[in-house]
Amino acid sequence: MNEEEREAREAAARIGIDLPDQCVPGVVENLRLLAHHAALLNAAPEETHAA
């Protein structure tokens, strides 16, 4: 199990989800996408953030 798969399983476990093996790749991809969006938001000037 690689680091991303471990993180996906841990994220699911934190909210009480038993993550089936076949779902791990999709969860990994969604976590990558969320991390990308978070980086974009963190890099944006404060005045561009919605209130």
Q: Do the beta carbons of residue 26 and residue 18 sit within 8 Å?
A: no
> Greater confidence, 47 or 35?
35
Q: What is the pLDDT of residue 3?
A: 95
Q: What is the pLDDT of residue 50?
A: 64
pLDDT in tens, 1-37: 899 999 999 999 999 999 999 999 999 999 999 999 9
Residue 47 has pLDDT above 80, yes or no: no
Distance (Å, whole) CA 28 – CA 23: 9
